[in-house]
Structure 1
């Protein structure tokens, strides 16, 4: 109850925080994209009408369709989070439960806030508890009693906690009982109930510990449990005698019950594979050098060594001759050739674990047997923690589906499998629903959205109409209209027009407005300001490309350390930066800062290790996470690391100084920004997400980091990802957190919520298009939003005025105004956005005047304190038109909609608050 009270108090404070925001009416527009979608985590399908279902996205909220995915409606726009773990629906009553917080335990698996419940199909939501569980694996509603719900809670991702295991409520979430608790590092990832008997349930526990530098996704407490009383009590079923692995290598387990006694399990077996017999080969392999002596190395065939170096893309300066000389003089050892090829990707993909295994029990979980011989290669690699997908057709025991990379189907009970992914289906699979009443009908959720098949995977439709992309980074060019670029989680790098409007018209042309220019997990982007066609972009762990979009010319680079030195440690989102002083100069960061003077052709190291030195683990750590060069001085560069260090060089890397000693230690430096207004000013944000610390850390220094001042006053406990200065007003700052965007008009002394029209979603990046005065928000779950900030940039000149009216956009007259092409089409309606500022809430009078005396239009508007926006449709009363324009013998025509519109000319728009009036010219060309 204490956690629930704190949550409600937090919601109250957040509401009041938003309610007093003077920018709460500034409109944001979603500008897509949608075609690449985002990660799906769960479905709930109406069993009586399978064209009706809900789909939950990892960080994009819950959506509903009743037309088989042709279109979707957002269900969680007003919910306090978009971070989904699982959804469960009672279709008879329409009651929806959401287990918030993603279950995949990935780098961007955001924590939730407990269980949300709606009894009005998502119009309103109530938090019904388990707020400290953070991540929910699965929920099951008793089909005979809507108030009876069983929840598998995984618990915190980066720290130990007690609110994990299995919880049950019998009163619709008013109270919960922890019916299975194992320990503070073991939660429950999956639940499965017999399709015919709600009393019989199975659960999969999962022991996992994740740190920023290491992830152990296996342990002896990972096991399968069973309940025969609808989840009230549980018995552990797997042990050394059961036939199911029960040692420290047991990882994530997925479950699929076929009947009371028949249950399938998909195991991520993290035990190492037996050593394979070496197959003799003429070519040299990386492993050959791990134990090779200096003497044996000197005897290597020169041609074979040269071939090895070339095949494995060693730097051209390393030849068989030069490498042998280095080994001979002792500057390197043979093992250094193996180390040279070891990076984060090789560790992630090459670890020789057993991987995916399918087990089956026919006696209610007492005994288990593996359904197949050998290994299911190519499904899990070494990161099975990301998947765990298994399903069985409950009318056909032999029809089993498992998912990882790719999606596999078995028609013989798991003895053999074949891939059923196709060219329009993403390769990473997270959720599946199998229709037991229509053979071959399957709904699949993956990292690229929703796919549906009716012929068991031979053909799939792609149902991606939702802007639920998971951006890591965004940038803009200077074209007209300008383009927006960005990298997506598991969906590469794309760019597209800032004028994008959601429409299916592209399907008739085959040309989607956004274009893909890179694969993998899309990361940072830099655009040459001299030539907007020259773009630098990349994927995870420092694999980057320079691409000329116009010619298609491409250069790939992933700078390597010097042979004999320690390998570079690249961050998952490796930072790159084009120097504002010379666009030929590209900075790229590992644990050291690298610089290219020739557009990425060659790199040199310009620093020592700018981190604390890394930690032993299977995730690169001790890496640079952010770079910023001062626009005032070439070579004045700041770096921030994932282990809390901020470093500064004033001489292009010749000397460096650590400037973060006075800041909180050990946090991820999510952004460091050299001011574009004052040379000595620098901003920094720190992020404790990877230690389950969600406090807001934001700082400014006016003396190059010698001293720091906190500017996080009043911000709620959301981790901060980015801070940006306004290019026009030095007092104006923008800040993106894991839940909202904020703005400050006084350099961070006070903050206000700036998220009108944007749900509660993680914001990874912000960028400003200076010419158009647009702020672009890159969300990790709802793609892109755009707002014009021209009015905000004038705040400090109007803040003391009773009312201020901002310049009106010109509009071009059209004979189409109010008219339609036919009786079946809607009239074309003009619109002028009127933006204004008022110091107090109340009402204002809006008038359109032909001159100082003749009023053509009048309307009273309700206003809030701060910025306000209204749309004027350029219509006027017929009476006023006739009385004024009739004297001028101007022919006036009504539109098909019966309205009269302003003729071409110049008018005044007047705004009056109390006894204060302001005017702006209104031009109809």
Structure 2
């Protein structure tokens, strides 16, 4: 079909925007070498490009409908409350934008949806004149902490915004406004997440953000994560510096450059006040630090420390000795293993889902003959989940200074089981403005102390969500708090005895979605730290609900499972049998409405090499026979009977693991051709794409000429031509924002680059239109795009969608709907009828 008509040609000409050629050349050079972090100027050019694509798009008026959910909300990173009227406040979400309420959280209005990025690290509000400062890019350093491009300011309560720069900051921990001079502000920049950069530390402006000066710098891996200011003397500030290195295969959460710094000249110069003989630790285990000053007496300062050093052996703890636990096998000798109680050993194997061939006699014989080591059982079961929760780090500690930081004393008398190994995800501390001994620390639980930190009590309740990231304490009534966590925003008026939710925004962070064939069809999805849910596609449909205006907008969303929700597959023969799971490959099958559940988590023989499961392990039901389930660790698995039995069909399909504490060298995407049974593609997190034409028995590597070592976010076989396959490569874990999209017409033997006009932003997903092979849809970290010419050029979707990461796209063929799974704004649905009509008009 010819595309050289006036409309398409005019559209393409508009895409040749200044800077595109440079980006294309840079991309070509990167294709054949290890990728480098994207420069700030290239990102800014890409954001300008996206703005152009939106303004000139043929699809800018396509209407989307958000169906929620909001019942479990999303990750809150900061709240800022009007101290004179606490019913007015702002809530900042990690990837859900900035929301404003004037009725104590009964309803919210988004005020940051039309800027270049939507992810936020911190906000600061001058409540005297309504001025708002937003630091973009979450500072919590998680697997899905999206980067920003610096600082924004609004002088009209969020109606319009001014960009203030600091584009290389990427992740911002704190913004402080001078209480006496509105032109002075300080920003704590944590810096790039997956690469070193020199633009870390503390920045100061004296002209309202027009210019900035970096006043505190330590090194390229040590950034500023938190700050506080003396409200009685704004020249006195404290800054917390944090050493951390994150790579796709390893996370170093601490280092000996982590420390607290003090300034007495308004942040122009700084002096380190921890370490040495100050009482505050400084060594390789010094992790993230949070700080809070007691406003009534600024000589008193509290700080939290994520201490990554290991606890001393506490084997004296009493436990149930009637059964064995995993730690019993950690350092066991051969003699000790052979003397284990047979009955207790058998019980351990059964409770941990070992194959029936492993029992006390067979395993002891393997140890006796040296076929396996006596510690093999521990190594076999000690997976990523176990290491995440059971590594014996010291974790959260609380320190106090009574002399403005000259000396420190640890005040918590007992260990605080608040962080496990992931203290990098938390760290904020709050002090009552009127009671020096009342402090709140944020972690998995929200904990309060009324004795200066010596003892703490968890104050979250059944109706709150764990994983807390910040608490505002009312200066006029310190029993009133507004706090944020991974499940949204909560408010209490009695020191946490009772809470209510302020969760009306739809800000869930979906990883993956699926649809069934029910009428109306249902949407399923896994959500970051909020489990797996499903709900009707007609939720929030005004036509359906016009006679029921009193009903809640998403009260029909139902939970399937917990943890960090991952992928979902639905057997559309009954629309009830669902496969779903959580992090690191923990899946199960169950029937909706039933109680029978089958755990699906393949394990190899105990003498074989340990499997590696990605955080988001892929699963897939075959469209040819939905009794067949595919699953990937570092090897490819297939079940012919709904997961009751599942067998490996390959060797390691990745490049092999790297030394680190994050599973790496794993399969992350699986797709089977809808035209040929057994034609299956997989992609790995280290850049491999492999294809099998015989259902998984033999595999061929087809990615050797593609960019190296990138996360293969999708491989999708075409429904229009058997040999055609699309691939998206994602450089997020290299701080590279190039949109890599490829197509092959010969089963992956050769590839062609597509989407050269796509703006800067890693790609997560590609889907074909169900009716027209020339229409493609891609989901980027900054939105949704469509092509009318088989991927040569793209246009942005309409004004209904904020610049939120699109992690997944599903197409419901019978309804002719496109369903968008976003990582920060829940689920959107639009009809494809109008898209297809516009396409047909454009190519006439």
Q: Note the 1:206-217 alignment, pairs <5 A.
A: 206-217=242-253
**Structure 2 residue 609 is the aligned partner of structure 1 residue 566:** yes
Show the counterpart of 1:765. Answer: 808
Closer/same/farther in 2, CA of residues 510 and 568 from structure 1, 3 Å limit: same
Partner of 2:582: 539
The residue number in structure 1 matching 2:52 is 16
Check whether the contact 2:528–2:565 (CA below 8 A) recurs between aligned residues. yes
Q: Which has the higher contact order (CA 8 A, sep 6+)?
A: 2
| 1:735-884 matched pairs, under 5 angstroms | 735-795=778-838, 797-801=840-844
1:195 Cα deviation (Å)?
3.4
Distance 2:49 2:679 in 1: 41
2:83·2:475 contact (CA, 8 Å) conserved in 1? no
Report the counterpart of residue 391 of structure 2 in structure 1.
Answer: 351
In structure 1, C-alpha distance between the alignment counterparts of 2:406 and 2:331, rounded to whole Å: 46
Q: Which moved more, 1:775-784 or 1:279-288?
A: 279-288
2:427 paired residue among 360, 374, 388: 388
TM-superposed deviation, 1:8: 6.0
Q: Verify: 1:134 aligned to 2:170, yes or no.
A: yes
Separation in 1 of the partners of 2:39 and 2:716?
A: 36
> Is the contact between residue 410 and residue 418 of structure 1 (CA under 8 Å) also seen in structure 2?
yes
What residue number does 1:423 align with? 462
The structural deviation recorded for 1:4 is 8.3
Partner of 2:733: 690
Q: Which of the residues 657, 662, 668 maps onto 1:619?
A: 662
Give the corresponding residue for 2:5: none
Deviation at 1:796, TM superposition (A): 5.0
Deviation at 1:81, TM superposition (A): 1.1
Task: Please give the per-residue CA displacement for 1:137-187, whole angstroms capped at 9, x wherever unaligned.
Answer: 000001111110000000000000111100000001110010101111000
Cα drift, residue 723 of structure 1: 0.4
Aligned mates of 1:597, 1:744 — CA distance in 2: 37
Aligned pairs (5 A) from 1:256-267: 256-258=292-294, 259-267=297-305
1:105 aligns to what? 141
Q: CA deviation at 1:279?
A: 6.3
The equivalent residue for 2:238 is 202
From 437, 449, 457, the equivalent of 2:488 is: 449
Shift of 1:88: 0.7
Quote the residue 1:827 is aligned against.
none
Change (3 A) 1:415 1:292: closer
Match of 1:657 in 2: 700
CA distance in 1, matches of 2:307, 2:48: 45
- 2:401 aligned partner: 361
Alignment CA distance shift 1:303-1:9 (3 Å): closer
In structure 1, the residue matched to 2:724 is 681
For residues 325-344 of structure 1, the C-alpha deviation after alignment (integer angstroms, 9 at most, x for no partner) is 33344432222111111111
Structure 2 Cα separation of the partners of residues 38 and 693 of structure 1? 26
In structure 1, C-alpha distance between the alignment counterparts of 2:316 and 2:453, rounded to whole Å: 30
Q: Is the 8 A contact 1:506 1:513 kept in 2?
A: no
For 2:168 and 2:105, locate their aligned partners in 1 and report how far apart those are by CA, in whole Å.
Answer: 33
| Matches of 1:634 and 1:330, distance apart in 2 | 43
Verify the 8 A CA contact 1:4 1:129 in the aligned structure 2: no
* Match of residue 705 from structure 1: 748
Residues 642 and 667, structure 1, Cα contact 8 Å, conserved in 2: yes
Distance 1:325 1:279 in 2: 32
Q: Structure 1 pair 365/550, CA: closer, same or farther in 2 (3 Å)?
A: same
Larger radius of gyration: 1
SS of match in other structure, 1:107: coil
Which residue of the other structure, out of 93, 111, 128, is the alignment partner of 1:57? 93
Q: SS of the counterpart of 2:366?
A: helix
Do structure 1's residue 240 and structure 2's residue 279 form an aligned pair?
no
Counterparts of 1:5 and 1:679 in 2: how far apart (Å)? Answer: 40
Q: What SS does the aligned partner of 2:376 have?
A: helix
**3-state SS, counterpart of residue 673 of structure 1:** strand
Deviation, 1:295, is 4.5
Residues 166 and 178, structure 1, Cα contact 8 Å, conserved in 2: yes
Do 1:83 and 1:101's aligned partners in 2 also have CA atoms closer than 8 Å? yes
Q: Is 1:334 matched up with 2:334?
A: no
Unaligned runs of 5+ residues in structure 1 are: 802-925
Q: Secondary structure at the match of 2:350?
A: helix
Pairing of 1:231-310 with structure 2 (within 5 A): 231-258=267-294, 259-277=297-315, 281=321, 283-310=323-350
The counterpart of 2:675, out of the listed 627, 632, 641, is 632
What TM-score, normalized to structure 2? 0.92
Per-residue deviation, residues 230-279 of structure 1 (Å, max 9, x unmatched)? 22221110022000001111000111100321100011000111122466
Q: Find 1:484's aligned residue among 523, 526, 545.
A: 523
Number of the residue aligned with 1:181? 217
3-state DSSP class of the match of 1:15? Answer: helix
Residue pair 1:242, 1:366 contacting (<8 A) in 2 also = yes
Task: Provide the rounded CA distance (Å) in 2 between the counterparts of 1:508 and 1:169.
Answer: 48
Q: Is the 8 A contact 1:195 1:394 kept in 2?
A: no
Supply the distance in 1 between the matched residues of 2:610 and 2:43 (Cα, whole angstroms).
45
Asked if the contact 1:3/1:131 (under 8 Å) is kept, the reply is no
Answering whether residue 691 of structure 2 is matched by residue 648 of structure 1, we say yes
SS at match of 2:676: coil
- Please report how far the alpha carbon of residue 652 of structure 1 lies from its aligned counterpart in structure 2 after TM superposition: 1.7
Distance 2:751 2:355 in 1: 42
> Contact 1:28/1:756 (CA < 8 Å) preserved in 2?
no
Match of residue 365 from structure 2: 325
CA contact (8 A) 2:631 2:638 kept: yes
Residue 107 of structure 2: which of 55, 71, 75 is its match? Answer: 71
| 1:218 Cα deviation from its structure 2 partner | 0.4
* Counterpart among 190, 206, 227 of residue 154 in structure 1: 190
Measured in 1, the distance between the counterparts of 2:62 and 2:241 equals: 46
Q: Alpha-carbon deviation of 1:600?
A: 1.1
Does the aligned pair in 1 maintain the 2:510–2:824 contact within 8 Å?
yes
Task: Measure, in 2, the Cα distance between the counterparts of 1:8 and 1:341.
Answer: 46
The answer on 1:43 being equivalent to 2:86 is no
Alignment partner, residue 208 of structure 2: 172
Query: Is contact 1:3-1:129 (8 Å) kept?
Result: no
Contact 2:513 2:525 in 1 (8 A): yes
RMSD: 1.9
**For the Cα contact (< 8 Å) 2:673–2:717, is it kept in 1?**
yes
Name the count of aligned residue pairs: 799
